[in-house]
Amino acid sequence: MPELLQFLLSGITVGAVYALVALGFTIIYNASDVVNFAQGEFVMLGGMITFFAHAAGLPLPLAALIAIIVTAAIGVALNKLAIEPARGAPVVSLIIITIGASIFIRGATQLVFDKQLHRFPAFSGDQPILIGGATILPQSLWVIAGALAVFVCLWLFFTRTLIGRAVLATANNRVAAQLVGINTKYVMTLSFAMSAAIGALAGVLVTPITLTSYDVGLALALKGFAAAMLGGMGNPKGALVGGLLLGVLEAMTAGYISSQYKDAAAFVVILAVLFAMPQGLFGRKSTDRV
């Protein structure tokens, strides 16, 4: 039994990272129907900038804060320089722009920083905590708490606040949103800033466990995207559940079958779910009027 618990705990840790990436997808998708494939690069930037700021002598919390702010600024720049000028282009074109942006960010990071693997110390030490025969790293608890906190904040943001509802209204119908006085450009800028900040936070939390380098973003983006699709694109609850489910699935497959098959098993389950529920577990029905 401790075996099962161990797999479950490591699955939840990995799943919490996927959930954080998926939550980042949620915001930009909600505001613009665009799936931002540069989301993984935000995670990478969060880790890399924190490492280099910390290495330059800044205390870790300050380095992390700077990383989050700088990444948010890069998110805003991505929107202003690449997405906004292409406004009016079909969503598919915008998605391709985000793929291009992710390649660009990866290349630029290689030049500005380096190609090495980096790690900074865990927040609360590396002494594993024993739970019923299984162990968990204190840093894992930070990751899980981070995912839960971001989820709660986003859920409150979208359901309770006027600006959160303005984001949803913009996604639903941009012209109508402008008609009722919503500044849709501001909504877009805000959602890129928030997505980038959440991505960077994920990078800060996870780097002590998984290490970071310029090229970790792509894999994270794919897994986060899969998690968001599984849960239902655009729904914070779906992102959280989808991420955790994907992580646990992977851990179980790796533990009981073979780690060779962990990606395959996860994607087979996702395909099966999407066959039965094309909108994902918590997705809203799309109602396009012809």
Partner 1 sequence: MSLLQIEGLGIDFGGLRAVHDVGFSLKPGEIVSVIGPNGAGKTTLFNMISGVYAPARGRVVLDGEDVTRMPPHLLARRGLSRTFQNLQIFQSMSVLENAVAGHHLHERGSVFADLFALPAARRRSQASGESARALLDRVGLGRAAEQEAGSLSYGALKRLEIARALALKPRVLLLDEPAAGCNAVETEEIDHLIAQVAAEGVSILLVEHDMKMVMRISNHIVVLDHGEKIAEGEPAAIARNPRVIEAYLGAQATEAKHVDG
- For residues 23, 158, 204 and 112, what is the CA-based torsion angle, rounded to 10 degrees? 80
- How many residues touch partner 1 under the rule CB under 8 A: the total is 27
Token pair for residue 46?
A: 């969060």
- What is the smallest separation between the CB atom of 286 and partner 1, expressed in angstroms? 7
- What is the smallest separation between the CB atom of 232 and partner 1, expressed in angstroms? 14
Between 56 and 289, name the residue whose CB sits nearer to partner 1. 289
- What is the smallest separation between the CB atom of 39 and partner 1, expressed in angstroms? 24
Q: Which residue stretch of 79-87, 112-120, 169-177, 208-216 sits at the interface with partner 1 (rule: CB under 8 A)?
A: 169-177
Between 172 and 260, name the residue whose CB sits nearer to partner 1. 172
Q: How far apart are CA 253 and CA 270, in angstroms?
A: 14
- What is the smallest separation between the CB atom of 188 and partner 1, expressed in angstroms? 13
Between 162 and 276, name the residue whose CB sits nearer to partner 1. 162
Q: What is the DSSP letter of 261?
A: G
Residues between 210 and 269 that touch partner 1 (CB under 8 A): none
Query: Does residue number 287 form part of the binding site for partner 1 (CB under 8 A)?
Result: yes
Q: Which of 169, 200, 227, 266 binds partner 1 (CB under 8 A)?
A: 169
The answer to whether 270 touches 226, Cβ cutoff 8 Å, is: yes
Residues between 142 and 161 that touch partner 1 (CB under 8 A): 156-157, 160-161
The answer to whether 147 touches 243, Cβ cutoff 8 Å, is: yes
Query: Does residue number 286 form part of the binding site for partner 1 (CB under 8 A)?
Result: yes
Q: What is the DSSP letter of 130?
A: E
The answer to whether 227 touches 267, Cβ cutoff 8 Å, is: no
Residues between 177 and 216 that touch partner 1 (CB under 8 A): 177-184
Q: Which of 1, 56, 175, 276 binds partner 1 (CB under 8 A)?
A: 175
SS3 129: strand
- What is the smallest separation between the CB atom of 136 and partner 1, expressed in angstroms? 31
Query: Does residue number 176 form part of the binding site for partner 1 (CB under 8 A)?
Result: yes
* Tokens 């890399």, located at residue: 48
Q: Which of 1, 56, 111, 162 binds partner 1 (CB under 8 A)?
A: 162
The answer to whether 227 touches 272, Cβ cutoff 8 Å, is: no
- What is the smallest separation between the CB atom of 274 and partner 1, expressed in angstroms? 20
The answer to whether 22 touches 243, Cβ cutoff 8 Å, is: yes
- What is the smallest separation between the CB atom of 77 and partner 1, expressed in angstroms? 22
For the chain, the residue count is: 290
- What is the smallest separation between the CB atom of 154 and partner 1, expressed in angstroms? 12
Element (H, E) at 136: strand 134-136
Beta bridge partners, 118, equal: 212
The CA-CA-CA angle for residues 265, 23, 89, to 5°, reads: 100
Query: Does residue number 163 form part of the binding site for partner 1 (CB under 8 A)?
Result: yes
- Ranges of beta strands (E only) in the chain are 129-131, 134-136
Quote the crossing angle between the two packed helices 138-160 and 184-210, to the nearest 10°.
170
Binding site for partner 1 (CB under 8 A): 156-157, 160-163, 165-166, 169, 172-173, 175-184, 284-289
